């Protein structure tokens, strides 16, 4: 296989342009590789184009401005024409062993002798797939997961005739495409990932068959629970944490006996001393020098990140979190009578998170604005200008902001904000926030903000309506006696 300094091929051939093949085409193209697709489907160009459009959208979100110029896409009239000049060939044909054997033999006969041939098979044994090839040493399994252009996992498995060189070259190509190769140690039907998925799938079918759960209930059991943890820690590392400070050995001792209970249709292997020791040793190696407590913190941080991302999509567990936040906001509004409106309002407290820290080791400037924005949201909830009020077409928009950054703050520090209403009328609300470090009450920043009340449907300013208007007037009157902050009305000056 002739490669430049990059392990990526000059030209890739995609044989079979279905969901998987189109995903492969998109991943290669977006990494600057020229791609030739062969598929007898008369609509193949349209179908590949739709997948490529989705992949471009995903790439813009994940790696904006970083990818090289897109490779050239073309379509071949025959399999032989597609692979004739290819450096790397990815076969993604239907999962019929006899058909794949025949087609891989044709690919082998027509492709350059140095080209690597990879099969996307999800479970067929490569030793059998390479049985009709003249140069079987260059065949490897490169099993991806849908959508190929987004999910990084690709299982690499060799057959009895596959060379180590071919495996290594395929590994290098997939890594250069932004993927995470997983080398399958021993050839086995279904490889690793699909065997795990198959076990869950079979048990799910039994739960439906026995009338224990519906398909939706089974999906909910995964997506609101273990599935969130699986996305970043898998199974064994999560169970290590369940064992507490004693780790995997304690987990196996505590929960191992449950394997004898009729919790599943699948039989478990005997937890022999040898197996327990193997699992514990591998778990120790997997965790390395990271303590249980540090792993717990990492677990929580990852869960927070996943849940926040899902909240933005208003889907799955993110929809639950969004609804919960809306309820908390509504509850806060109901507490307005307990708040002393005659003093600066203490409505928002927070803690500096790890992702708020910049290259100087301090909270980055954009997070000061975020904290002040959250404090503004808390005040809007207090006066009833959130939730249902926004859904009914009205809201306050921030139109001007001035922030003074007065001191540094590090990760884990507790913060609180005091909010003062400097003035208000039918359409405007002028706020002044002061940000304090809780432990020493030092002032970290101040923020002055002008908000305009808007009719969201008409896209223009309008007077506040109903009880919100009354609440703003009450709050402005209650705070009118407070001394004006020295920093109010400040502007940036030089000299």
Question: Same domain for 111 and 229?
Answer: no
Same domain, 148 and 208: no
For residue range 308-343, list pLDDT tens digits in order. Answer: 888 888 888 788 888 767 766 666 556 555 688 999
- Asked whether residue 35 falls in the same domain as residue 127, the answer is yes
Same domain, 184 and 327: no
Give a yes or no: residue 492 inside a domain: no
- Minimum mean pLDDT among 68-72, 151-155, 302-306, 465-469: which range? 302-306
| Phi-psi map region of 252: left, alpha, beta (phi>0 left; psi -120 to 50 alpha) | alpha
Q: Are residues 140 and 60 in the same domain?
A: yes
Tell me: do 151 and 38 sit in the same domain.
Answer: yes
Band (pLDDT 50/70/90 cuts) for residue 2 is very low
| CATH assignment at residue 175 | 3.40.50.720
pTM of full prediction above 0.75:
no
Owning domain of residue 302: 292-332
Task: Give just the sign of the alpha carbon dihedral 310, 314, 316, 317.
Answer: positive
CA distances from 485 to 206, 267, 340, 479 (A): 67, 71, 19, 12
pLDDT at 377 over 60: yes
Query: Which of residues 309 and 482 earns the better pLDDT score?
Result: 482
SS3 track for 33-71: CEEEEECCCCCHHHHHHHHHHHHHHHHHHHCCCCCCCCC
Question: Tokens for 422?
Answer: 């400097």
Q: Please say whether the beta carbons of 53 and 79 come within 8 A.
A: no
CATH number of the domain to which 221 belongs: 1.10.1040
Q: Is there a single domain that holds both residue 215 and residue 257? A: yes
3-class SS of residue 266: coil
- How much is the CA Rg of the chain, to the nearest whole Å? 30
Helix (H) or strand (E) holding 378: helix 365-382
CA 414 to CA 437: how far, in whole Å? 6
Q: Which of 283, 305, 332 is the last residue of a domain?
A: 332
Domain count, the chain: 4
Flag whether 311 is in a domain.
yes
- Report the C-alpha gap between 117 and 111 in whole angstroms: 9
Same domain, 443 and 460: yes
Three-class DSSP category at 442: coil
| Residue 493 belongs to some domain of the structure | no
238 and 217 assigned to the same domain: yes
The single residue listed with the structure tokens 């920043």 is: 445
Residue 159 lies in a domain: yes
Same domain flag for 399 and 458: yes
> Which residues are CB-neighbours of 188 under 8 A, at least 6 positions away?
125, 195
Q: Are residues 312 and 344 part of one domain?
A: no
Asked if 180 and 210 sit in the same domain, the reply is no
Q: Do the beta carbons of residue 429 and residue 421 sit within 8 Å?
A: yes
* Confidence label for 490 from pLDDT (cuts 50, 70 and 90): confident
């Amino acid at each position: 296989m002739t490669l430049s300094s990059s392990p990526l091929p000059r030209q890739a051939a995609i044989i079979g342009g279905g969901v998987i093949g189109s995903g492969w085409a998109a991943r290669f193209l977006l990494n600057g590789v020229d791609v030739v697709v062969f598929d007898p489907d008369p609509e193949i160009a349209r179908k590949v184009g739709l997948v490529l459009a989705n992949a471009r959208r995903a790439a813009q979100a994940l790696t904006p401005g970083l990818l090289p110029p897109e490779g050239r896409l073309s379509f071949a009239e025959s399999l032989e024409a597609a692979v004739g000049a290819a450096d790397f060939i990815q076969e993604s044909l239907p999962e019929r062993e006899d058909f794949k054997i025949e087609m891989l033999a044709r690919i082998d006969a027509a492709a350059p002798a140095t080209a690597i041939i990879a099969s996307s098979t999800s479970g067929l044994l490569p030793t059998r797939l390479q049985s009709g090839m003249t140069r079987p040493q260059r065949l490897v399994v490169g099993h991806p997961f849908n959508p190929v252009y987004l999910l990084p996992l690709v299982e690499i498995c060799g057959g009895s005739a596959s060379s180590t060189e071919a495996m290594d070259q395929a590994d290098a190509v997939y890594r250069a495409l932004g993927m995470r190769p997983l080398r399958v140690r021993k050839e086995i039907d279904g490889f690793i990932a699909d065997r795990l998925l198959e076990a869950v799938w079979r048990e799910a079918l039994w739960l439906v068959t026995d009338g224990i759960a519906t398909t939706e209930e089974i999906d909910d059991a995964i997506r609101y629970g273990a599935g969130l943890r699986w996305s970043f820690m898998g199974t064994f590392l999560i169970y290590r944490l369940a064992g507490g400070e004693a780790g995997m050995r304690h987990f196996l001792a505590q929960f191992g006996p449950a394997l004898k209970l009729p919790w599943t249709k699948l039989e478990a292997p005997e937890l022999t001393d040898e197996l327990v020791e193997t699992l514990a040793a591998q778990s120790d190696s997997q965790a390395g020098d990271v303590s249980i407590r540090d792993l717990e913190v990492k677990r929580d941080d990852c869960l927070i990140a996943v849940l926040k991302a899902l909240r933005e999509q208003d889907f799955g567990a993110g929809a639950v979190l969004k609804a919960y936040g809306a309820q908390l906001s509504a509850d806060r509004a109901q507490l307005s009578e307990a708040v002393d409106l005659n003093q600066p309002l203490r409505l928002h407290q927070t803690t500096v998170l790890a992702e708020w820290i910049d290259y100087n080791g301090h909270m980055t400037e954009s997070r000061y604005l975020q904290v002040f924005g959250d404090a503004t949201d808390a005040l809007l909830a207090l006066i009833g200008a959130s939730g249902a009020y926004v859904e009914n077409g009205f809201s306050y928009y921030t139109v001007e902001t001035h922030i003074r950054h007065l001191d540094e703050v590090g990760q884990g520090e507790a913060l609180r904000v005091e909010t003062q209403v400097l003035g208000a009328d039918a359409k405007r609300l002028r706020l002044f926030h002061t940000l304090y470090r809780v432990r020493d009450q030092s002032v970290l920043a101040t923020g002055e903000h002008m908000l305009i009340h808007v009719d969201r449907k008409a896209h223009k300013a309008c007077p506040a309506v109903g009880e919100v208007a009354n609440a703003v007037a009450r709050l402005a009157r209650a705070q009118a006696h407070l001394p004006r902050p020295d920093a109010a009305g400040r502007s940036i000056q030089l000299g």
